[in-house]
Structure 1
Amino acid sequence: MNRNIYVLLGLMSVFAWIKCSPPNPTFTDPVILPLAGYDTLPKVTYHRDSAWSNFPPFIGKYSFGDPIDLNDFPAFKDIPDEDYLHEYRDWDPEGYDVRGFDIRVAYDQDLFVPYDFFEPYELVRYFPVFFVNETDSVLVFTGRNNYTFGLQEALSWPDSIARWGLIETPGVEFCGNGGFAIRVHPGEFVTVLMLKYSGSVDTQLRVRFVIGDEEYVSASFPGQVNPQQFMLSNRDRSWINPAYGCDEDWFYGGTPLGY
């Protein structure tokens, strides 16, 4: 009898703990505070005649519910030292994982920031992408300097065979230094900006990223492109081997259609 009482009390304690434990936080799109002090700069939306070469800028790491202030870009100063890992290639990632982020794309938001913060001459139209950690584990997000490794793809036209093709390609790197890794705890997210283009055709878009050695592809969303954006520049054509096709590692696993 006494043993049964102890078992019953133990079960009651477990149920009480489950009932009282707070649920895991859920992510909602954050409030984004616009830039101040750039009122005299013109606002532009890029219209490109070939796949545009660039690196999406890293904005910062935040907790669920935190606002994002673009005036703090890039927000490395707000990341605790123990979570910021410089030159991550020399860091032992055992115990941390790059797999598990949920990509949330807020294409309906228009954010105007300088393409070059060091020499701002115009405000360029972007949209935010969030890498959300709703898991119970610490994840790791990687990049270099103040940018990340991502690009956009578009679905080709309905009157042809519908295929996903690149409308952006990776930017040019001048050296291999400056890599970073950031620990992203449960209930935290990373914000990245991606260019929003003008175009004559409505189609589906998606974003493709590489974090560490893991490829991420978002769900599709409606957007606009210029048909010529499927064409590669001369520089990017140099990564195409006519005998074997494209070097998919260069394009983060994506495929160019026009070359």
Structure 2
Amino acid sequence: MSKPIIAFTLLSALLFSCQQQAAQPEKKKFHLPFVLQDSSQEKAVLTEVKSVNPTNFPFLGKYKFCDTLRLADESNEKTTAGENYIIYEKGSIGTWDSLNTDGFQIFADYKTTIRYRTNPYDQTHLYFPVYMVNETDTTKFFFGKDRHAWGVQEAKDTADYASWYAIECPTFDFCGNGSFGVKVQPGEFIVLLVPRYKGSQTGSMRVRLQVDNTTYVSLRYEGEYHQEQFRFDMSRPTRFPAKFADSYINFGIYGAAFKRFR
């Protein structure tokens, strides 16, 4: 009688051990961090335009999940995720063909304001952070160019059946060089900056981001913009972006539509 009991006990212990070994570690969850900024009293302004604004989103680096985020200097590639994580060589980017650009989550934190100057000769403007987050258990790949990412903001045009239209377009791309790639490990995120606008109205807005062939769209937030930002400035039709306005209106960008005026 004792042999069956012993066998049952050993089998139960073995099954329990297998279940313990098969248990997966709990995935790290991302939450919006508190962003620490310098105490500089340098004046910063909202961006104010009266037409579709050519823009790109500055890339501020890669970080590990955290409660408090201290942004690195824009000229410093060392962040909490380590040194030299950016791949500049075009040939090297292609070697990471086992990685993909899908599976990120996008978080637009419009409640946080960040002061940033794109170059030493430009005025400091106000932005808000957008996070590209890897909560999966596999490594992802993020693409950018010239220290920025490709994306636009959209706004709802309440005068046109509450349709979504882009109020930004990409900046002029002078050449094909300058592309870079970043491996984003599980529990890490990318920080991008998106312009805050001064406008005559407040309404629903969202961020649309293009990472290689994958498009990401954020949840909506309430922001300011001018009604005129749905229209291209055609006062100089041979200059950018007016020169390409028809193409943008006909084909859109990153899946976003531009408003067609008669």
Q: Is TM (by shorter chain) over 0.5?
A: yes
Return 133-142 or 229-238, whichever deviates more: 229-238
Give the alignment of 1:1-259 within 5 angstroms. 1=4, 4-17=8-21, 22-35=25-38, 38-39=40-41, 41-65=42-66, 67-78=68-79, 80=82, 83-88=85-90, 90-114=93-117, 116-120=118-122, 122-157=123-158, 159-234=159-234, 235-241=240-246, 246-248=250-252, 251-259=253-261
CA distance in structure 2 between the partners assigned to 1:134 and 1:63 by the alignment: 11
Deviation at 1:43, TM superposition (A): 1.7
**Cα pair distance change 1:35/1:119, threshold 3 Å:** farther
Count of paired positions: 250
TM-score (norm 1): 0.86
* Runs of 5+ consecutive residues of structure 2 not aligned to the other structure: 235-239
Task: State the secondary structure of the residue aligned to 1:149.
Answer: strand
Could you say what secondary structure the match of 2:181 adopts? strand
Give % identity: 28
- Judged with a 3 Å threshold, the aligned counterparts in structure 2 of structure 1 residues 194 and 219 are, in CA distance, closer, same or farther, namely same
1:30: how far off? Answer: 1.7
> Hey, what's the Cα distance between the residues in 2 that align with 1:10 and 1:97?
38
What is the alpha-carbon distance in structure 2 between the residues aligned to residue 62 and residue 133 of structure 1? 11
Q: Secondary structure at the match of 2:51?
A: coil
Contact 2:143/2:212 (<8 A) preserved? yes
Distance 1:183 1:117, change over 3 A: same
Kept after mapping to 1: 8 A contact 2:130/2:194: yes
- Helix, strand or coil for the counterpart of 2:77? helix
Partners of 1:35 and 1:70 within 8 A in 2: no
Q: Is the 8 A contact 2:35 2:69 kept in 1?
A: yes
Segments of 5+ residues of structure 1 without an aligned counterpart are none
Q: Tell me: CA distance 1:167–1:74, structure 2 relative to 1, closer, same or farther (3 Å).
A: farther
Q: Which stretch shows the higher mean deviation, 182-191 or 80-89?
A: 80-89
Cα distance between partner residues in 2 of 1:148 and 1:119: 21
| CA–CA separation in structure 1 for the residues paired with 2:147 and 2:84 | 18
Q: Distance in 2 between matches of 1:217 and 1:123?
A: 27
Distance 1:102 1:25 in 2: 13
Query: How big is the shift at 1:84?
Result: 2.5
Q: Which moved more, 1:94-103 or 1:25-34?
A: 25-34
Larger CA deviation: 10-19 vs 176-185: 10-19
| Equivalent residue number for residue 237 of structure 2 | none
**Higher Rg of the two aligned structures:** 2
Contact 2:60 2:72 in 1 (8 A): no
Counterparts of 1:73 and 1:202, CA distance in 2: 31
CA contact (8 A) 1:34 1:71 kept: no
Deviations along 1:21-52, one digit per CA (max 9) or x if unpaired, are: 6421111112222135x53x422111110011
Given that 1:44 and 1:123 are in contact with CA atoms closer than 8 Å, whether structure 2 keeps it comes out as yes
Give the direction of change, closer, same or farther, for the CA distance of 1:134–1:206 in structure 2 (3 Å limit): same
SS at 1:68's partner residue?
Answer: strand
Q: Is the 8 A contact 1:156 1:165 kept in 2?
A: yes
